[in-house]
Amino acid sequence: AQSVAQPEDQVNVAEGNPLTVKCTYSVSGNPYLFWYVQYPNRGLQFLLKYITGDNLVKGSYGFEAEFNKSQTSFHLKKPSALVSDSALYFCAVRGLSGYSTLTFGKGTMLLVSP
Amino acid sequence: ETGVTQSPTHLIKTRGQQVTLRCSSQSGHNTVSWYQQALGQGPQFIFQYYREEENGRGNFPPRFSGLQFPNYSSELNVNALELDDSALYLCASSLEQGVGGYTFGSGTRLTVV
């Protein structure tokens, strides 16, 4: 069975500082990996994905993520946080099989202080 | 290119009632997945429809059922509602069972009283 772990319930960072939101995964074979962001009372908004290729993936709003196969991690990063980045972030994984589905972590709340 | 549209945005039902939630897929997408997101939790997979057939199901009882129509829009039906069914229900559409990614709708907030 596939799974995702987001070990931090909340990450606090000051505006202008770099941020990292951690994610590790477990899946059979090679993974598809995703990051989504959710604002209050809203659906999920796509940030970035890793399917194949470069381990450093660049996404929306200045976010990027680094795929590390040996550590089975896919941490989300941003060089300089904005207050408007404050939201709930979800990491998700699926396998390559056509019948594989998306499995989410429990989410990490990012709070960026002015 | 239109995104994923869900309706209604909010509704309140009484325990024991039945509810139908609707989802219009993004143009060109032939796969729809449904997720339940309880308060403070990550989305949990309910089921997936590909070309009008269910081809994957999560750990949800049979009173959760669905349909996908020829235009690839979809419905989620829940019978005999329970208080624990209160959640945000998210629909996601994709091309070819999720290859390349998923587009999510804004969700339907269901409250069971």
Query: pLDDT for B80-107, tens place per residue?
Result: 999 999 999 999 998 887 777 889 999 9
State whether B102 and A34 contact (CB < 8 Å). Answer: yes
The verdict on A32 touching B (C-beta cutoff 8 Å) is yes
Q: How far apart are CA B92 and CA A47, in angstroms?
A: 15
pLDDT at B1 over 70: no
Residues 6+ apart with CB under 8 A from A70: none
The top-scoring range by mean pLDDT among A6-20, A53-67, B84-98 is: A6-20
The verdict on B1 touching A (C-beta cutoff 8 Å) is no
Among B48, B100, B104, beta carbon nearest to A43 = B104
The verdict on B5 touching A (C-beta cutoff 8 Å) is no
Q: Which of B84, B107, B104 is nearest to B25 (CA)?
A: B104
**Chain A residues near residue B105 by CB distance under 8 angstroms:** 43
State whether B104 and A101 contact (CB < 8 Å). Answer: no
Half-sphere exposure of B104 (CA within 13 A, CB side): 25
Angle at A65 between CA A62 and CA A66, to 5 degrees: 140
Q: What is the pLDDT of residue B2?
A: 65
The top-scoring range by mean pLDDT among A71-85, A97-111, B38-52, B85-99 is: A71-85
Instruction: Name the more confident of B27 and A83.
Output: A83
Mean pLDDT on A66-82: 96
pLDDT band at A97 (very low <50, low <70, confident <90, very high): low
Q: Which residue of B has its CA nearest to A35?
A: B101
State whether A46 and B101 contact (CB < 8 Å). Answer: yes
Q: Which of B77, B71, B74 is nearest to B6 (CA)?
A: B74
Among A42, A100, A102, beta carbon nearest to B102 = A102
Q: What is the pLDDT of residue A15?
A: 98
Rg (alpha carbons) of chain A, rounded to whole number: 14
pLDDT band at B23 (very low <50, low <70, confident <90, very high): very high
Dihedral sign (CA B51, B53, B55, B58): positive
Other CB atoms within 10 Å distance of the CB of residue B13: 16
Rg (alpha carbons) of chain B, rounded to whole number: 13
Mean pLDDT on B3-22: 96
pLDDT at B40 over 90: no
Q: Which residue of B has its CA nearest to A105?
A: B42
Instruction: Name the more confident of A97 and A93.
Output: A93
Across all residues in chain B, what is the average pLDDT?
A: 93
CA distance B84 to chain A (A): 18
Residues 6+ apart with CB under 8 A from A12: A111, A113
pLDDT band at B11 (very low <50, low <70, confident <90, very high): very high
Q: What is the DSSP string of A67-109?
A: EETTTTEEEEEESS--GGG-EEEEEEEE-SSTT---EE---EE
The verdict on B86 touching A (C-beta cutoff 8 Å) is no
Q: What is the pLDDT of residue A94?
A: 87
CA distance B75 to chain A (A): 17
Residue with tokens 């659906």: A43
Choose the weakest-confidence range: A11-25, A43-57, A80-94. A43-57
